[in-house]
Structure 1
Amino acid sequence: MTKVLVITEHAPYHLSSLKDALDMALIFAAVDAEVAWLFVGQSIHSLRKNQNPRILGMKDVFKSMKTLDIYDVDQLYVSQQCLEASGLTADCLVLEVKVLSSDEQSTLINSFEKVVTL
C-alpha cells in the first residue's frame, strides 16, 4: 500500500486549494493508498469551527471534510507553530487532529513515500 501525505499551506478561501487538497486525499484513498493530511501555514484556518463559506458565495467544502474518516483518511495533523501563531488550540478545530512540532513534522514527512503539497 502506497503511503501518501497531502500538505496544504494556503488559507481556506485561497482559490480552490482546499477543495483540490480534499479531492486529492479522497482520490488517493479510493485507490487504497494510506493517506494522511498535514495542515501548515494559513491552511489551519480550514479547520476552524463555525465557518460559513456560503456568505462568500463558495461551496461548503467543510461538510465533506467531516466525512474523511469514512474514506479512512483519519490521520490529520496540524503544525503546532502555526496553530499557536494563529492564537488557536486544537479545541477550536472542527476535526480531531494531532498537533505536531517542527521536528515531528519532519519525521512525518520522511515517513511517507509520496508527498503532495498544495
Structure 2
Amino acid sequence: MINVLVMSQCSPFDDLNIRDALDMTLIFAAVDQNVSWLFSGPAVLALKKHQQPNNIGLKDFFKNIKTLEIYDVENIFVCEKSLLDYGLNKHDLLIEAKALNFSQQQTLIKAQQHVVNL
C-alpha cells in the first residue's frame, strides 16, 4: 500500500480545485491506497459547516466530503494556523479532522510516497 497525500490550498470558491481533490482522494481510496488529505490556507473553508454554495451559483459538492468515511478515508488534516486565520475551530467543520501545526505538516509530507498538490 502506498502513502498518498492530497494537499488543497485554494479557495473552494475558485475553479474546481477542491472538487478535483475530492475526486482524486476517492479514486486513491478505491484502489486501496493509504490516502490522506491536508487542507490549508483558504481550502479550510471547504470544510465549514452550513455553507450554501448554490446561493452563489455553485453546485453543492461540499456535502460529498462527508462520504469520505464510507470509503475509509480517515486521515483528514487541517492547518492549525489556517483555522485561526479564518476564525474556525474543529467544531465548525463538516467532518472530523486533525489540526496540524507547521512542523507536524512537514512530518506528514515527508512520510508520503506521493504528494498531489491541488
TM-score, normalised relative to structure 2: 0.97
Q: List runs of 5+ in structure 2 lacking aligned partners.
A: none
Q: Post-superposition shift, 1:69? A: 0.8
Paired position in structure 2 for 1:54: 54
1:32 aligns with 2:32: yes
Stretches of structure 1 that go unaligned for 5 or more consecutive residues are none
Residue 77 of structure 1 is matched in structure 2 by 77
The CA deviation at 1:39 is: 0.2
Cα displacement (A) at 1:87: 1.3
How do 1:1-118 and structure 2 match up within 5 A?
Answer: 1-118=1-118
Residue 37 of structure 1 deviates from its aligned partner by 0.3
CA–CA distance in 1 between the matches of 2:63 and 2:93? 13
Alpha-carbon separation, structure 1, partners of 2:106 and 2:46? 22
Q: How far apart, CA to CA, are the structure 2 residues paired with 1:100 and 1:90?
A: 11
- Structure 2 letter corresponding to 1:83: L
TM value normalised by structure 1: 0.97
| 1:21 maps to amino acid | A
Percent pairwise identity: 45
Q: CA RMSD in A?
A: 0.7
Q: How many correspondences in the alignment?
A: 118
Distance 1:87 1:15 in 2: 23
Q: Distance in 2 between matches of 1:95 and 1:87?
A: 17
